[in-house]
Amino acid sequence: MADQPNPVSARTPPPAVWHYLENLKGEERLAWRKADVTDRPNPDERNLPHEYPFGWFVVDYSDELAIGEVKSIRYFGQELALWRGEDGVARVLDAYCAHYGANMAHGGKVAGNLLECPFHAWRYDDQGRVLDIPYAKVIPPQAKRKDCVPSWPTAEVNNQILVWYHPDRIAPIWDPVVYAETQDPDWTPYAKFEWFVYTSLENMADNGIDISHFKYVHGAPFVPEYRMTFDGRSRAVVADIKFNTPRGHVEGAITSITYGPGQSTSRFTGISETLLVSGVTPVDRDVLKVRFAFTQPKAQAEGPGANLARALIRDICTQLDQDKVILDRHKRMEPPLVCDGDGPFGRNRQYYSQFFASRNPSPKIAA
Ligand code: FES
Ligand SMILES: [Fe+2]
């Protein structure tokens, strides 16, 4: 119920985008978050990059893929097959079978730990090798090679399934980052929220350091004190915030850390301890799947502070709704025309360029 007055919000109406959202309530708002925006200008007109940055990206939640299940997923402009073997391990291959091109995620099945194609039952391991052809005496040598069907390095951490993407299929350069709270029995299971945002990853990354939009899109009464640090492949933004609550002002902080293009967290302290685990993954050149997963200490989420804890989550989701109104139809400016009150767009773009293979051909990413 994103439309209810929010006890943790210190927002001052009326930023323009609030009018756009005011009639979208409850279920309608949830549907809007995932609906196609069919009248959006094409990606060339909007100057969206042709290239996806490399790194680890969330493609599913662990508890949404059962043993023996095959799922069709689409990311990086490609059809992929995701499955979980009998051994519990999640695996990802390109979806199209090397034999006759069936999409193995549609009608394929899990055989032991292998993916069986629905067309002629060839069976693949997670390296993309054919290990079995039930009607052939000999498996062609080419089919036995690794990446006969291209394979995707896959990891499962933070109750999420991640794949490593690199346009040249270079092996992972770093490990996905693990957040201790997601394994802590004293913290709640995820509260999950999803959007399609019709823009590029780089534009989403700019949004986090765009300090001047907080007033005009999110209604912040003043620009909070920010500290930004760029360190190798991570970027931290720490903001000191005053929350308005029924008990008066409460001092708090928001620490947002980006660990590469696909993994980031925001920690909220002060009013209601909250960890937001974000996963933003490109589906196509102008489509991002955004996952927000919130966890909070159980003592807080189930105790007297439960209403505030829920309100904070609602407020954070509303902020992404507000950003989405702009980003769905936004054109990328290279470079943007900036002024002295803006965030460090130039520094952020320099930081972000390390994740593009065309600009960083032999990755020299700091540990
Ligand atoms: S197309 Fe997959 S086994 Fe023939
Ligand atoms: Fe924003």
* pLDDT at residue number 123: 98
Task: State the amino acid at position 244 in one-letter form.
Answer: N
pLDDT in tens, 296-321: 999 999 988 899 899 899 989 999 99
| CA 317 to ligand 2 center in whole angstroms | 10
Residue ranges of the chain whose pLDDT lies below 70: 1-11, 13-14, 243-248, 364-367
Residue closest by Cα to atom 4 of ligand 1: 120
* pLDDT at residue number 81: 99
| CA 87 to ligand 1 center in whole angstroms | 24
| CA 264 to ligand 2 center in whole angstroms | 15
| CA 84 to ligand 1 center in whole angstroms | 20
Letter string b/e over residues 1-26, b meaning 16 or more CB atoms within 10 A of that residue's CB: ebeeebbbbbbeeebebbeebeebee
pLDDT in tens, 236-255: 999 887 766 666 677 889 99
pLDDT in tens, 127-173: 999 999 999 999 999 999 999 999 999 999 999 999 999 999 999 99
Residue closest by Cα to atom 1 of ligand 1: 100
Ligand 1 pocket test, pick from 96, 100, 109 with the greatest ligand atom count within 8 Å of Cβ, gives 100
| CA 91 to ligand 2 center in whole angstroms | 34
* pLDDT at residue number 270: 87
Contacts 24+ apart (CB under 8 A), 347-350: 347/228, 347/230, 348/205, 348/206, 348/209, 348/230, 348/235, 349/202, 349/206
Q: Which ligand is nearest to the CA of 324?
A: 2
CATH 3.90.380.10 spans which residues of the chain?
A: 16-33+179-353
Q: Which ligand is nearest to the CA of 130?
A: 1
Q: What angle do CA 16, 191, 56 make, to 5 degrees?
A: 85
CATH of 55-165, picked from 3.30.830.10, 1.20.1090.10, 2.102.10.10, 3.40.50.10860, is 2.102.10.10
Give residue ranges with CB within 6 A of ligand 1: 97, 99-102, 117, 119-120, 122
CATH of 16-33+179-353, picked from 3.90.380.10, 3.40.50.300, 3.20.20.70, 1.10.1520.10, is 3.90.380.10
CATH 2.102.10.10 spans which residues of the chain?
A: 55-165
* pLDDT at residue number 7: 45
Name which of 239, 300, 307 is nearest 267 in CA terms: 239
* pLDDT at residue number 250: 75
d(CA 39, CA 36) in angstroms, rounded, equals: 9
* pLDDT at residue number 167: 96
d(CA 163, CA 90) in angstroms, rounded, equals: 10
d(CA 69, CA 17) in angstroms, rounded, equals: 41
Residue closest by Cα to atom 3 of ligand 1: 120
Task: State the amino acid at position 345 in one-letter form.
Answer: F
